[in-house]
Amino acid sequence: MDEQKTRDKGLLNPASKFYRFLMLAFIASLSFGSYFAYDIVSAIAPSLIEELQAARSTVGTFFTMYSLAAILAVLLGGLLVDKLGTRKASLLFSCLVFIGAALVWKARSIPVFFLGRFIFGAGSEPLIVAQSAMLARWFRSKELAFSFGATLTVSRLGSLFAFNTGELISRYFGSFRYALLAAVLACAVSLLGNLFYIILDRRGEKVLDLKKEAETEKINLRDIKEFKPTFWYITALCFTFYSAIFPFTALSTDFFVDKWGIARAAQSSGGFLAQVFNNFLHMFSTAGGISSIIIFASMVFAPFAGSLVDRIGRRVTLMIFGSLILIPCHLLMGLTRIYPAFPMVFLGIAFVLVPAAMWPSVPMVVREERTGTAFGLMTAIQNIGLGLFPLVNGFLRDRTHSYTASSIMFASLGVVGLGFALLLKRADRRENNILEKTTRKS
Between the alpha carbon of residue 290 and those of residues 92, 164, 184, the distances in Å are: 35, 9, 24
pLDDT digits (tens, 9 = 90+) for 204-249: 877 776 655 444 455 566 667 778 899 999 999 999 999 999 999 9
pLDDT digits (tens, 9 = 90+) for 177-204: 999 999 999 999 999 999 999 998 888 8
Contact, 218 vs 376, CB < 8 A? Answer: yes
Domains 13-218 and 220-442 share a fold: yes
CATH class label, 13-218: mainly alpha
What are the residues whose beta carbons fall under 8 Å from the beta carbon of 406, sequence distance 6 or more?
248, 251, 255, 334, 392, 393, 396, 397
Closest CA to 38 of 295, 232, 238: 295
Q: What averages of pLDDT result for each successive group of 10 residues across the chain (442 residues)?
A: 48 77 90 94 91 89 92 74 79 95 94 95 86 77 69 88 93 93 97 93 76 53 80 95 94 94 86 87 92 89 76 89 95 96 94 87 80 78 92 93 95 96 94 80 46
pTM: 0.84
Cα–Cα distance for residue pair 358/230, rounded to 1 Å: 11
At residue 129, the pLDDT reads: 76
At residue 182, the pLDDT reads: 97
DSSP per-residue codes, 135-202:
HHHHHSSSSHHHHHHHHHHHHHHHHHHHHHHHHHHHHHHTSTHHHHHHHHHHHHHHHHHHHHHHHHHH
Give backbone dihedrals phi and psi of 263, rounded to 5 degrees, phi first.
-60, 145
Q: Where are the domains of the chain?
A: 13-218, 220-442
Superfamily of domain 220-442: MFS general substrate transporter like domains (1.20.1250.20)
Burial class (CB in 10 A: 0-12, 13-18, 19+), 19: buried
Tell me how crowded residue 418 is: count the other CB atoms within 10 A of its CB: 22
Cα–Cα distance for residue pair 249/125, rounded to 1 Å: 19
Q: In what helix (H) or strand (E) does residue 345 lie, and over which residues does it extend?
A: helix 341-358
